[in-house]
């Protein structure tokens, strides 16, 4: 069997101490990476133009289905090429090492550091409701550094911490859901379909709201960044991503149902802190603090997931590119120490300078662009290399990849038309990645991504 068929250097063997990431931990990473603050803040802007319980729940269901369509495609590529680093690996295999480097450059530099900083700052803001008077910035920096220390202790401790934090997050959300349906006074909202509500579904606000719903679902591909650390990835990667995304889909639909069930729509419309409003209707005056504590604990697991998977991109690039070799070095416990420290430094700088908000604005287009072509790569390889071993084949092919591509294309169109400057800056950072790749290639006299040099032969 060739290196291409097995994914090249994808599976170097078990981690130090015999540690591997189980399917349960990988699914926990998916859940933790997906469930941030988006689901707790976006409903208020959706009900302004879509004051329908059925349409809102359908909106979130559609978002989850689109995410699952992406899961099927990424699972096929991940099972074919089981190497950590996500799009860096997949785009290099499906298209060209330059394309993979472009995606890796975005992810390794700011693609994960900016969301880490955003989640940490949200932790600091919500932490004020639990610890009045505590400086949000100090709480944010403390959360990132604490999680990073855990990551530096090795994969085994990271796995245990991630699993416990994610289970606690899910249990708190389930407790909130139970309280919402059992204790609160029901609002006059219907979740049953009605002919009059189908006008909302066919409206422009529904399509635009889907863009922001999809942002809340981002992270469904988190497990692809740690494939090389997973136990039996050809089998467990699809299971982890499918289970994690399905759990989040159920949680998201249920949370929005509780928000609408407990609080009047006119009180939610246009508000950012819909979870706090719903919490007040459920628990009374202490509802805000309860919700704040719930979100804070949830954000710790999100920061942990991103501080785990983000450095794996730089680590894998370090394995391929000599100038980045230091980032590929691991501790005796399997932690890529320098890659973790690099992301920690970048995230900390973004927190102190508050630059993460601007960075998040201009990397959205680049991240969507890379996801779009990754899924397109599944179709390309099916056509150009149908005989390659595929331990997992995308369910519903070609419909599911096409659904994901169409929705992602719409999101990119929305960004280009709605935020042209930010999208242009996103293109610039991708171009900078190509320029750096060209420098490395010229210096080395060959593709710097040596581990991916065994690309499938082109058909004449």
DSSP-derived secondary structure for 331-357:
-TTS--HHHHHHHHHHHHHHHHHTTHH
**Among 101-115, 164-178, 282-296, 437-451, which is the least confidently predicted range?**
437-451
DSSP one-letter code for 391: S
Per-residue pLDDT for 35 more than 60? Answer: yes
- In this predicted model, which residue has the larger pLDDT, 287 or 370? 370
Residue 179 phi, psi dihedral angles, 5° rounding: -60, -40
Average pLDDT over residues 201-206: 89
Contacts of 395 (CB under 8 A, 6+ apart): 72
pLDDT band at 360 (very low <50, low <70, confident <90, very high): confident
Average pLDDT over residues 93-99: 93
- Percentage of the chain beyond pLDDT 90 is 71
Using DSSP's 3-state secondary structure scheme, residue 164 falls into helix
Average pLDDT over residues 288-298: 89
Angle CA(153)–CA(155)–CA(159) in degrees, nearest 5? 105
Per-residue pLDDT for 459 more than 60? Answer: no
Contacts of 64 (CB under 8 A, 6+ apart): 217, 245, 246, 248, 249, 252, 253
Per-residue pLDDT for 10 more than 60? Answer: no
Quick one: pLDDT at residue 444?
A: 64
Per-residue pLDDT for 139 more than 70? Answer: yes
**Among 182-186, 412-416, 430-434, which is the least confidently predicted range?**
182-186
User: What are the E-state strand segments in 203-293?
Assistant: none
Q: Are 105 and 433 in contact (CB under 8 A)?
A: yes
pLDDT band at 448 (very low <50, low <70, confident <90, very high): low
- In this predicted model, which residue has the larger pLDDT, 399 or 185? 399
CA distances, 61 to each of 4, 96, 238, 252, 400 (Å): 37, 35, 20, 8, 15
Residue carrying structure tokens 């399997």: 334
Give the whole-angstrom CA distance, residue 64 versus residue 38.
14
**Among 26-40, 418-432, 433-447, which is the least confidently predicted range?**
433-447
Task: Give the DSSP H or E segment for 238.
Answer: helix 233-262
Per-residue pLDDT for 398 more than 50? Answer: yes
Give the whole-angstrom CA distance, residue 62 versus residue 384.
31
- Percentage of the chain beyond pLDDT 70 is 92
Using DSSP's 3-state secondary structure scheme, residue 262 falls into helix
Give the whole-angstrom CA distance, residue 55 versus residue 50.
7
DSSP one-letter code for 326: G
Give the whole-angstrom CA distance, residue 40 versus residue 212.
12
Beta bridge partners, 230, equal 21
Using DSSP's 3-state secondary structure scheme, residue 21 falls into strand
Give the whole-angstrom CA distance, residue 358 versus residue 349.
13
> Domain 19-447: which CATH class?
mainly alpha
Quick one: pLDDT at residue 401?
A: 98
Average pLDDT over residues 17-21: 63
Using DSSP's 3-state secondary structure scheme, residue 77 falls into helix
Domain residue extents for the chain: 19-447
Residue carrying structure tokens 């805000």: 288
Residue carrying structure tokens 């298209």: 95
Average pLDDT over residues 103-113: 93
Give the whole-angstrom CA distance, residue 450 versus residue 321.
7
Give the whole-angstrom CA distance, residue 136 versus residue 351.
11
Q: Are 202 and 44 in contact (CB under 8 A)?
A: no
pLDDT band at 190 (very low <50, low <70, confident <90, very high): confident
Mean pLDDT, the chain, rounded, equals 89
pTM above 0.85, yes or no: yes
Q: Report pLDDT digits (tens) over 59-68.
A: 999 999 999 9
Quick one: pLDDT at residue 440?
A: 81
Q: Report pLDDT digits (tens) over 337-354.
A: 999 999 999 999 999 998
Give the whole-angstrom CA distance, residue 55 versus residue 109.
38
Per-residue pLDDT for 5 more than 50? Answer: no
Average pLDDT over residues 136-155: 95
Give the whole-angstrom CA distance, residue 258 versus residue 242.
24
Per-residue pLDDT for 404 more than 70? Answer: yes
pLDDT band at 2 (very low <50, low <70, confident <90, very high): very low
Average pLDDT over residues 144-163: 94
Beta bridge partners, 21, equal 230
Q: Are 106 and 370 in contact (CB under 8 A)?
A: yes
Cis peptide preceding 19, ω within 30 of 0:
no
Average pLDDT over residues 80-93: 94
């Amino acid at each position: 069997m060739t290196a291409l068929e097995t994914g090249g250097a994808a599976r170097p063997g078990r981690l130090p101490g015999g540690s591997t990431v189980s399917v349960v931990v990988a699914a926990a990473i998916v859940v933790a990476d997906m469930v941030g603050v988006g689901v707790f803040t976006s409903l208020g802007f959706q009900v302004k133009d879509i004051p329908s319980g059925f349409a809102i729940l359908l909106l979130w269901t559609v978002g989850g289905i689109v995410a699952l369509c992406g899961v099927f495609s990424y699972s096929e590529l991940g099972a074919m090429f089981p190497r950590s680093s996500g799009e860096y690996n997949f785009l290099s295999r499906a298209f060209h090492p330059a394309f993979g480097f472009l995606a890796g450059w975005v992810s390794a530099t700011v693609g994960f550091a900016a969301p880490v900083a955003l989640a940490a700052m949200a932790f600091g803001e919500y932490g004020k409701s639990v610890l009045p008077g505590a400086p949000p910035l100090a709480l944010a920096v403390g959360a990132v550094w604490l999680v990073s220390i855990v990551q530096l202790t090795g994969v085994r401790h990271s796995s245990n911490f991630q699993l416990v934090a994610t289970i606690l997050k899910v249990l708190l959300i389930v407790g909130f859901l139970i309280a919402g349906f059992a204790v609160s006074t029901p609002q006059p909202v219907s979740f049953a379909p009605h002919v009059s509500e189908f006008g909302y579904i066919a409206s422009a606000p529904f399509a635009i709201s889907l863009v922001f719903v999809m942002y809340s679902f981002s992270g469904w591909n988190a497990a692809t960044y740690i494939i090389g650390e997973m136990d039996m990835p050809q089998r467990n990667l699809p299971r982890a991503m499918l289970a994690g995304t399905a759990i989040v889909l159920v949680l998201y639909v249920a949370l929005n149902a509780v928000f609408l069930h407990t609080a009047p729509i006119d009180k939610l419309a246009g508000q950012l802190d819909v979870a706090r409003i719903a919490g007040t209707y459920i628990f009374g005056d202490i509802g805000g603090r309860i919700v704040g504590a719930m979100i804070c604990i949830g954000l710790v697991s999100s920061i942990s997931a991103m501080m785990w998977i983000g450095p794996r991109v730089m680590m894998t690039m370090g394995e391929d590119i000599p100038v980045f070799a230091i980032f590929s070095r691991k501790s005796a416990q399997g932690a890529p120490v320098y890659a973790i420290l690099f992301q920690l430094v970048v995230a900390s700088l973004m927190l102190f300078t508050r630059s993460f908000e601007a960075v998040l604005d201009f990397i959205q287009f680049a991240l969507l662009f890379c996801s779009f072509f990754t899924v397109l790569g599944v179709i390309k390889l099916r056509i150009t290399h149908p005989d390659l071993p595929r331990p997992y084949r995308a369910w519903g092919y070609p419909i599911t990849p096409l659904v994901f591509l169409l929705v992602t294309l719409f999101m990119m169109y929305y960004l280009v038309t709605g935020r042209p400057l930010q999208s242009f800056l996103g293109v610039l950072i991708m171009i900078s990645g190509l320029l750096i790749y060209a420098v490395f290639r010229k210096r080395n006299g060959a593709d710097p991504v040596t581990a991916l040099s065994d690309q499938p032969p082109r058909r004449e």
